[in-house]
Structure formats: C-alpha cells, structure tokens
Amino acid sequence: MKRVLSGMQSSGQLTIGNYIGALRNYVKLQHLHQCFFMVVDMHAITVPQEPAALREQTEMAAALYVAAGLDPNKATIFLQSHVSAHAELGWIMTTLTNMGELERMTQFKDKAEGKDSVGAGLFTYPSLMAADILLYNADIIPVGDDQKQHLELTRDLANRFNNRFGEYFTMPEAYMPEVGARIMSLDDASKKMSKSSPNPGSFIGMLDEPDVIRKKLSRAVTDSGREVKFDPQNKREVSNLMSIYSHFAEMSLVEIEAKYEGQGYGPFKKDLAEQIVAVLEPIQQRYKEIRRSGEIHDVLKKGAQEAAEVANQTLLEVKKRMGFVL
Ligand code: AQP
C-alpha cells in the first residue's frame, strides 16, 4: 500500500477545477492507499485573508472533502495549521531551497503579476509545500497540472536532503487526470480556473446553486463558430468546456463530438450545465447536512492526531540528521 498526500488552499470556495483536478481523485485513491488529505490554510495566507473569511473557507473546504465522498475512517482529513510540524519542516526546506529555484516558479509569476507589493510567503510557499509532502514520505501526490512544477521542486529538495544527510525521503510522484488536469477559466481560456479569481463568472464553485451554474455556462466565452470539436490549439474555449463535460458526464471527447454534431453551442452548453448540476447537487445536499451537524470539527480533530503522529516522527528524524540538539 502506498502513501498519498494532497491538499487544497482555503483561499475561496472550491471550484470544479479543484474537483476535477484533485478532489475526485482523492475520493478514488482513499480506497487503494493510505491517504492524508489536508486543507492547506497556511498556504491560503500567502495572500491576505480576512479572519472570518479564512475560518469559513477552511471549514467549507474540509466539509466539501467529506461531502464529495472522503471518508474520515478511510483517509486522514486534517488542517495544515493543526500540525505544527508543517511550519517547522517548511522553514527547514526553505533553507535548503535556492532563490533561483523559486524565481522560476510560474505560479508565483502569475500571482505576483501586476501587484505593487507581494508577500514573501507567496514566494517561498513551494518550500512549505515540499515540507507538506515530505513529512508523510508520500509516494503519490494527486494534483492538477499547475502544481507539477512545485512537485518537481519537492523532488529536488528530497534529493538534496538525501545527498547531504543520508537517504531518507521517498521520491513523490504526481498523479494527474489525463483530461482536465488544467481546467481553464470560463471568461478567458488562457487562464486557469481559480477559486480566488475576483470575477465569480470565471469559475463554477462547488456550492454554486443550479441556476447560477446555468447562468455562468450560458455566459461562458466561446468562439464565433458552431462546431463542438476538441481542438485545444484553435478552439480553446470549447475544448475546455468539452473537458469539463467529459468529466461530469463520464463520456469521451469523441462521444461528445458525435452527440452535438451540427447542433451548435447552445444545446451543448445547456446539457453541460445539467451534467454539472447532477453531480454537484447531491454533494451540496450532504455539505449542508455536514455543516449543520458540526461533525467536521470531530473529523478534523481525529485527523490532526493521526497526521501529527506521522509528521512528528519525520521531523524528529530530520532534525537528528541535520544536527539539531534534541
Ligand atoms: N483549474 C484547475 N484545473 C485542474 N486542477 C486544478 N487545481 C486548481 N485549479 C485547477 C488543483 O486543485 C488542487 C488544489 O489547488 P490549491 O488550492 O492548492 O491551489 P491552486 O492550484 O492555486 O488552486 P486555485 O483554485 O487556483 O487557488 P487560488 O485561486 O487560491 O490560487 C491542486 O491539486 C491543483 O492542482
């Protein structure tokens, strides 16, 4: 049995991009491996968060994990900030990281673009992410395509540590969906769909009401043609919507093309909205029950205990090897 680790930032409401790129895979993997799934609230504060919003977003994300099908008796579900070893190993990993490596990170460049002032945490966050993964000696990391570069850095840091202080860390491997590893924004298909986008029309939130989903899709940008065809080079917007369709309806791209041949975009977008609603509605129902019962607090408490047991052991070993007085 392998070890799986992944997490999402509580920087907004989870989107269908987070669902397709990561959460759906979490649910599958919990039946196959030993899994640790966290809400990375300490990553969320790399951009300013209002305290009340951070609290709500963090509980929302954890409750959505469970509502989407994560079982606290199968997987360890916890908050990053509840296990202090993350911050400690995060600092150690920062000291092993070179500035040049962080400067190359495209996500940092994207997030810093056009901002007058950027927090140092946004720059160093890939080192904390490396610590998140290495603390659990995880083998498999289910992530979307945007996290590939950060995972490469994690592997480099694991190698660097192993070379300097003796073989210890496992080399983690990314686990990505074949289609939909990068779901793009509904208003601009050159940008990835992001939960922290200031334009709510650019993403579909996992808690969006059915009518909101229908409206957002009817307004989603397409091209001036009318052919439902998967061609990411020339038909970026429609190809993105087709990837989403393929996931929610569990249909291949070829099947989708055949179904909408000669029909234009209208019926395709309408059906897509219904496919998304059909998957999200039961999750939203369960979500409401979970929030109402308050059970998520018990889930997170149990998860933090389980996670800390593994993480603290790793941290101790790392400190011993590096020469800290214990
Ligand atoms: N658009 C996407 N398509 C596919 N996968 C995605 N992921 C995120 N966006 C997409 C995957 O979701 C997981 C959680 O991501 P995160 O919360 O750690 O941060 P992120 O990658 O920066 O996601 P967002 O939604 O864009 O958050 P903000 O707006 O705060 O930056 C990851 O596995 C990610 O790959």
Q: Are 148 and 172 in contact (CB under 8 A)?
A: no
Question: CB of 192 closer than 6 A to ligand 1?
Answer: yes
Q: How far apart are CA 284 and CA 278, in angstroms?
A: 11
Please give the pLDDT value at position 179: 66
Q: pLDDT value at position 101?
A: 97
Name the pLDDT band for 186 (thresholds 50, 70, 90).
very high
**Cβ(196) – ligand 1 distance below 6 Å:** yes
Helical pair 210-219 and 265-293, crossing angle rounded to 10 deg = 150
Q: What are phi and psi of 37, to 5 degrees?
A: -125, 120
Binding-site annotation, residues for L-tryptophan: 132
196-233 pLDDT per residue, tens? 999 999 999 999 999 999 999 999 999 999 999 999 99
Average pLDDT, the chain: 96
Phi, psi of 280 (to 5 degrees): -80, -30
CB of residue 194 inside a 6 A radius of ligand 1: yes
Question: What are the pLDDT digits (tens) for 133-185?
Answer: 999 999 999 988 889 999 999 999 999 999 999 999 999 999 987 766 799 99
Binding residues for ATP: 9-11, 17-18, 144-146, 183, 192-196
Q: What is the mean pLDDT of residues 14-22?
A: 94
Q: Judge whether residue 93 has pLDDT over 70.
A: yes
Q: Please report the pLDDT score of residue 181 as a whole number.
A: 79
Q: What percent of the chain has pLDDT over 70?
A: 99
What is the reported pTM? Answer: 0.95
Q: Residue 202 has what DSSP assignment? A: G
CA pair distance 247, 298, nearest whole angstrom:
32
Task: Give the confidence band of 64 by pLDDT, cuts at 50, 70, 90.
Answer: very high
Which of the residues are catalytic?
111, 192, 195
**Per-residue b/e over 164-203, b at no fewer than 16 CB within 10 Å?**
ebeeebbebebbbbebbbbbbbbbebeebbbbebeeeebb
92-101: average pLDDT: 98
In order of start, what are the domains of the chain with their CATH numbers? 3-176+294-322 (3.40.50.620), 200-287 (1.10.240.10)
Q: Is the pLDDT of residue 274 over 80?
A: yes
What's the CA gap between 252 and 242, in Å, rounded? 9
